[in-house]
């Protein structure tokens, strides 16, 4: 079986236990995640991202009413990750803001 890390073509020889399950990793990536480095499992793709491929982490969030059409909220996220930090802005119409709040609540509650 192939290692679950994205773009790694090495043979998986180690079954690695994480919180909710198990994936197969090559020896190098097994050692990498065991050492405490950042990793992220995309449960839909069944792929593990490591290092700079790990999605940026939200370290600050702010929102303010947006003037304009369609209005709503201007949501600003500050992301930090390996080798990067950036601000991203999203215009969130009122109806989508309600959806977003529900998604965040459900995601957090599992």
Binding site for Zn ion (CB under 5 A): 3, 5, 8, 10, 26, 29
Residues 6+ apart with CB under 8 A from 93: 70, 71, 72
Residue placing its CB nearer to Zn ion in the complex, 11 or 87: 11
Residue placing its CB nearer to Zn ion in the complex, 10 or 95: 10
Q: How far is the CB of 30 from Zn ion (least distance, A)?
A: 8
Contact predicate 66/75, CB 8 Å = no
Q: How far is the CB of 48 from Zn ion (least distance, A)?
A: 8
Q: How far is the CB of 39 from Zn ion (least distance, A)?
A: 11
Contact predicate 58/35, CB 8 Å = no
Residue placing its CB nearer to Zn ion in the complex, 5 or 23: 5
* 98 backbone dihedrals φ, ψ, rounded to 5°: -65, -45
């Amino acid at each position: 079986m192939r290692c679950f890390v994205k773009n790694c073509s090495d043979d998986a020889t180690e079954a690695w236990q994480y919180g909710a399950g198990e994936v197969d990793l090559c020896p190098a990536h097994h050692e990498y995640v065991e050492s405490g480095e950042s990793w992220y499992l995309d449960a839909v793709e069944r792929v593990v991202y490591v290092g700079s491929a790990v999605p940026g982490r939200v370290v600050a969030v702010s929102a303010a009413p947006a003037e304009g059409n369609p209005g709503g909220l201007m949501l600003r996220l500050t992301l930090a990750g390996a080798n990067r930090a950036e601000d991203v802005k999203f215009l969130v119409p009122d109806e989508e803001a309600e959806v977003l709040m529900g998604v965040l609540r459900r995601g957090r509650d599992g």
